[in-house]
């Protein structure tokens, strides 16, 4: 008889993991899937196109209840898990307790809400799920919104609302937008593009408090210089926190996230975890690529196959039409680091490559990101780029054929 597998959380990571597992061996486990939200999973990455109206919810659903049922997965959607007993290997949901042989925790993360005065007013939301998205979509024209957070998510939220006619202010505490992915120059170009879309961007701006309209609803955000930014909706997009409560209560080792080893196994050998709730080698995860890698590893671990999760450089793309940016690797300045920069302000194109020794370690691009995947590959593979350095920044179309020969290539002589 098949072993019992319980999965807590129907997000992108667990969905992908189950896909791998069932594809490899549909009969290995008897699977039960808990999900606090009353639905299967959708591609959270694609919420922004839904917000901006480029896609609908139906477009972004990846694994709905029917998909799971077809594969014999018992879905307990809309039911929260309330306790885990690792000694007895039991999971208790709101509607009852089940035994497991293996347990997978994929509870994801919670958006971080800055505890500003007024953060609990009506109309103050994070940007995390379909409900948040729908709230923003519902706002419409003639209304005003403030987004706190000039990172990836905040900007997608701002651009999505702006596309629907909402007047949007973005408040960002740092000197330039997306400072974790962009350098100052690219951040400047991004800011310029957003400004052209009508979005007002406030950098180096500290939020002081959220003001009420007197009826418990948000009226404005006040900055510490006294500026008031009126709004009907305030979106906080200032980061996420791994959702670790269940794990902690179950007695698993938890730091910032639920600690897993290279096999995605927690401190309890029968409990595994993946996704935004885990911490691996000190790192937590917010982008999709490593989550999919984890899904692959975890599925193999469940099948008793050897697989290890290895953290790789992660590339970022911002899904805002007209703001084509790409960022990968490490681009902080430092000893022994050299950079190659391409600037084309008239066309709004900026590229910066960061090298250490003969290896590419980081890439930031704005305005023309067609070669992003290629650069990302060079970073991940630690390719020796010395021979291509002269034309490296121009991408793969200008490689090959080797270096220019001396005559005709390095002087004006024919020989």
Partner 1 sequence: MDGSGLPEIRSTCAYCGVGCGVLLRPDGAGGLDVRGDPAHPANKGRLCSKGSQLGETLGLEGRLLKPRVNGLDSEWDAALDLVALRFRETIAEHGPDSVAFYVSGQMLTEDYYVANKLMKGFIGSANIDTNSRLCMASTVAGHKRAFGTDTVPGTYDDLEEADLVVLVGSNLAWCHPVLYQRVVAAKKARPQMKVVVVDPRRTATCDNADLHLPLKPGTDVALFNGLLTEIAAQGAVDEGFMAHVEGFVATLESASDDDPARTGLDAATLQQFYDLFVRTEKVVTVFSQGVNQSSSGTDKVNSILNCHLATGRIGKPGMGPLSVTGQPNAMGGREVGGLANMLACHLDIENISHRSAVREFWSAPVIADKPGLKAVDLFQAVGEARIKALWVIHTNPAVTMPDADRVRDAIKDCPFVVVSDITAATDTARLAHVLLPATSWGEKEGTVTNSDRTISRQRGALPAPGEARPDWEILSEVGKRMGWPSEFDYASPAEIFREHAALSGVAGGFGKDFDISGHADLTDGDYAALAPFRWPYAGTRRGGRFFGDGAFYTESGRARMVPVKWKDFAQKTAPRFPFRFNTGRIRDQWHTMTRTARSPRLSAHLAEPFLEIHPEDAAELAISPASLVRVTSTHGTALLRALVTDKVQKGEVFAPMHWTGETAPAARVDALVPPVTDPISGQPESKGAVVALAPFAARWYGFAVSCTEMAPESDYWAVARAESGWRLEMAGSEAPADWETEARRLFRLPRAEVQVVSDPRRGSVRIAFHAEGRLLAALFVSPEPVGVMRSHVATLPGAEAPHVLTGRAPADQPDPGPVVCACFNVGVNTILDGIETQGLMSVDAIGAALQAGSNCGSCRPELAALLARAKTPTPEAAE
The secondary structure of residue 62, as a DSSP letter, is E
332 binds partner 1 (CB under 8 A): no
Q: How far is the C-alpha of 29 from the C-alpha of 50, rounded, in Å?
A: 35
d(CA 291, CA 181): 19
For partner 1, the binding residue among 197, 339, 359, 377 (CB under 8 A) is 339
Helices (H), 47-199: 47-52, 57-60, 65-70, 130-139, 152-163, 184-196
Binding track over 361-390 against partner 1, x by CB under 8 A: ----------------------------xx
Q: Which is nearer to partner 1, 282 or 409 (CB)?
A: 409
Q: Judged by CB under 8 A, which stretch of 37-45, 55-63, 106-114, 404-412 contacts partner 1?
A: 404-412
Which of 289/349 has CB closer to partner 1? 349
Minimum distance between the CB of residue 367 and partner 1, rounded to whole angstroms? 12
Helix axes 152-163 and 130-139, enclosed angle (nearest 10): 40
Q: How far is CA 8 from CA 150, 260, 329, 415, in A?
A: 32, 16, 32, 71
The one among 340, 348, 374, 382 contacting partner 1 by CB under 8 A: 340
Does 192 bind partner 1 (CB under 8 A)? Our answer is no
Decide: is 64 part of the binding site for partner 1 (CB under 8 A): no
Closest CA to 5 of 13, 16, 22: 22
CB 341 → partner 1: shortest distance, Å? 5
DSSP string, 358-385: TEEEEEEEES--TTHHHHHHHHHHT-B-
- Give the one residue of 82, 283, 341, 370 binding partner 1; rule: CB under 8 A: 341
Query: Mask 283-322, x = binds partner 1 (CB under 8 A)?
Result: ----------------------------------------
**Burial grade of 70 (CB within 10 A; 0-12, 13-18, 19 or more):** exposed
User: Taking Cα atoms as reference points, which of 153, 185, 170 lies closest to residue 316?
Assistant: 153
From the list 53, 117, 345, 357, which residue makes contact with partner 1 (rule: CB under 8 A)? 345
Residue 402 in the binding site for partner 1 (CB under 8 A): yes
**Is residue 66 a contact point for partner 1 (CB under 8 A)?**
no
The residue (of 249 and 390) whose beta carbon lies closer to partner 1 is 390
When asked if residue 342 is in the footprint of partner 1 (CB under 8 A), the reply is yes
Q: Which window, 36-44, 122-130, 134-142, 341-349, contacts partner 1 (CB under 8 A)?
A: 341-349
Choose the binding region for partner 1 from 94-102, 184-192, 202-210, 391-399 (rule: CB under 8 A).
391-399
| Footprint on residues 244-283 left by partner 1 (CB under 8 A) | none
Name the pairing type of β-strands 359-366 and 325-329: antiparallel
Tell me the closest approach of the beta carbon of residue 401 to partner 1, in angstroms: 8
CB 336 within 8 A of CB 354: no
Q: How far apart are CA 205 and CA 183, in angstroms?
A: 18
Which positions touch partner 1 (CB under 8 A)? 338-347, 389-391, 393-394, 397-398, 400-415
């Amino acid at each position: 008889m098949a072993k019992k597998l319980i999965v807590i959380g129907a997000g992108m990571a667990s969905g992908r993991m189950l896909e791998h597992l069932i594809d490899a061996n549909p009969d290995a486990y008897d699977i039960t899937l808990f999900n606090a939200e009353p639905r299967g999973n959708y591609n959270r990455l694609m919420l922004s196109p839904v917000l901006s109206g480029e896609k609908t919810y139906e477009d972004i659903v990846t694994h709905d209840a029917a998909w799971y049922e077809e594969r014999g997965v018992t879905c307990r959607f809309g039911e929260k898990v309330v306790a885990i007993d690792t000694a007895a290997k039991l999971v208790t949901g709101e509607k009852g307790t089940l035994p497991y042989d293996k347990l997978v925790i994929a509870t994801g993360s919670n958006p971080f809400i800055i505890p500003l005065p007024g953060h609990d007013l009506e109309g103050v939301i994070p940007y995390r799920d379909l409900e948040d998205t729908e709230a923003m979509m519902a706002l419409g024209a003639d209304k005003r919104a403030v987004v706190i957070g000039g990172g990836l998510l905040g900007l997608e939220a701002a651009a999505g609302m702006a596309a629907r006619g909402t007047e949007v202010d973005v408040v960002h505490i740092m000197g330039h937008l997306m400072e974790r992915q962009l350098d100052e120059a690219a951040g400047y170009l991004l800011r310029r593009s957003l400004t052209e879309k009508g979005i007002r961007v406030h950098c180096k701006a500290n939020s002081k408090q959220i003001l009420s309209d007197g009826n418990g609803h948000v009226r404005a955000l006040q900055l510490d210089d006294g500026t008031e930014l009126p709004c009907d909706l305030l979106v906080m997009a200032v980061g996420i926190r791994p959702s670790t409560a269940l794990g902690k209560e179950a007695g698993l080792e938890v730091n910032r996230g639920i600690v897993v080893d290279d096999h995605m196994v927690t401190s309890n050998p029968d409990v595994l975890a993946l996704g935004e709730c885990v911490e691996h080698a000190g790192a937590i995860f917010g982008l999709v690529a490593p989550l999919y890698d984890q899904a692959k590893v975890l599925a193999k671990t469940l099948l008793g196959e050897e697989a290890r999760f290895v953290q790789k450089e992660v590339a970022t793309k911002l899904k805002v039409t007209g703001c084509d940016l790409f960022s990968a690797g490490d681009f902080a300045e430092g000893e022994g680091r050299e950079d190659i920069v391409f600037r084309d302000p008239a066309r709004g194109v900026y590229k910066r490559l960061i090298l250490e020794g003969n290896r590419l370690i980081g890439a930031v691009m704005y305005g023309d990101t067609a070669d992003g995947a290629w650069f990302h590959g060079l970073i991940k593979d630690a390719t020796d780029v010395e021979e291509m350095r002269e034309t490296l920044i121009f991408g793969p179309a200008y490689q090959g054929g080797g270096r220019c020969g001396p005559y005709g290539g390095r002087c004006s002589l024919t020989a």
